[in-house]
Amino acid sequence: MQPRGDTLNATIRKALESHGNGAVTVLSSLLTLEDALGYIPPEAIEEVAHLTHTTVNDVWGVASFYPNFRFEPPCEHVVEVCWGPTCHLMGAPAVMKEVLATLGLNTEGDTPDKRVTLKFNTCLGACAQGPVMSLDHHLVGRLTPQEAGKRLSGVVGMKGNRSLQ
């Protein structure tokens, strides 16, 4: 369950208070909040503007620049498929095709049932293991399309908040 209202504001404030001493910037604040909440809610933009003595428009300028930030709560699970050059050569296109088919998506995004968020990533930093995908921030390497499909297929019909691994 995503926090809302006062709980959300408290979470935002707590996250901002605890992050870095000295070098507080718009970007560092946004990163902290993305880590704490998984997304940047409108309230967070106001808090960051307040904290960094800028305006909400400035914060939005930074936030919208980076594709890492999302502005809606993420789904229960986050799947990232690498299609950097190495993974591409090692067979990422086939993996990607299988993942999209399994999740019933045409491109990166959220599944309609809000269970899985799919993101394309240009490098997950494990080129030697390629092709790679990450399931809720845990890397799975040397994938075959079958393996990728198997890992995901359970999730699609799954109920409840079970780990993907």
Partner 1 sequence: MTTDNRVNIVVDGKEVKARPGSVVLEAAIEAGVYVPYLCYHPGMKPYAACRMCMVQEEVDVEVERDGQKVKEKQLRPASASCTMPVREGLTVRTATDVVRDLQKGIMEMLISEHPHGCLTCHRIELCGPQDVCLRHVSVNDRCVFCPKNERCELKDSVRFLGMEMLSPLSYKTRGLEVEVADPFYDRDYNLCIVCGRCVRVCEEVRADNAITFVDKAGKALVGTVRGASLLESGCEFCGACLDVCPVGALVEREHKWDKATRVSRSVCPHCSVGCQLNLEVNRREKVVRAIPELHAPANHGQACFKGKFGLEFVNHKERLKRPLIRRNGQLQDASWEEALAFLAQQLPKYQGGQFAAIASARTNNEGAYLLQKFARAVMGSNNVDVDSNTRPALARALEAPLGYAASTNSIWELESARCILVVDANITEEHNVVGVPIKRATRRGAQLIVIDSREVELTRYAALWLRPRPGTTLILLAGLLRAILDQGLEDKEFIREKAQGLEELRVSLGDFPLAKVAEVTGVPAERISEAAHTFATAETGAIAYALDNATLEEQAAQVHALANLALATGNLGRPSTGLYALRRGANEQGAVDVGATPDLLPGYQRVSDDVARQAVENRWGIKLPTEAGLGLTQVLRAAREGRVKAMLLLGDSYNYANGEMDEGYEALERLGFLVVCDSFLGAAAQRAHVVLPAATFAEEEGTYTNLERRVQLSSRALAPRGMEARPVWQVVCQLAQGMDARGFGFSSPAQVFEEIASVSPIYAGVSHQRLIREMAFTLRPDPKNPLPTQLAHSDRVSRGLQWPCLGTDSSGMAVLYGSGFPSGKARLMPVSVPASSLRVSPAYPLLFAPGRVLAQHDRDVSVERIGGVNHIQREERVEVHPADAAALGLKAGDMVEVVWASGRIRGAVEVREGQHQGVVSMTTLFGEMATRLQASEDPDPMAKAPLLAVRAVKLEKAT
Point out which residues bind partner 1 (CB under 8 A).
42, 45-46, 49-50, 54-61, 64-66, 71
Provide the minimum distance between the beta carbon of 61 and partner 1 in the complex, in angstroms, as a whole number: 4
Choose among 121, 109, 118, 112: nearest CA to 151: 118
CA dihedral 132, 133, 139, 143 (to 10 degrees): -50
Choose among 76, 70, 45: nearest CA to 59: 45
Comparison of 67 and 125: residue with beta carbon closer to partner 1:
67
Provide the minimum distance between the beta carbon of 58 and partner 1 in the complex, in angstroms, as a whole number: 5
Comparison of 39 and 139: residue with beta carbon closer to partner 1:
39
Comparison of 48 and 103: residue with beta carbon closer to partner 1:
48
Provide the minimum distance between the beta carbon of 4 and partner 1 in the complex, in angstroms, as a whole number: 14
Comparison of 50 and 97: residue with beta carbon closer to partner 1:
50
Provide the minimum distance between the beta carbon of 57 and partner 1 in the complex, in angstroms, as a whole number: 4
Q: How far, in Å, are 20, 51, 70, 77 from residue 116 at the CA level? A: 31, 33, 14, 5
Comparison of 53 and 159: residue with beta carbon closer to partner 1:
53
> Residue 165's CB: how many other CB atoms inside 10 A?
8
Q: Which amino acid, one-letter code, is at 75?
A: C
Provide the minimum distance between the beta carbon of 120 and partner 1 in the complex, in angstroms, as a whole number: 15
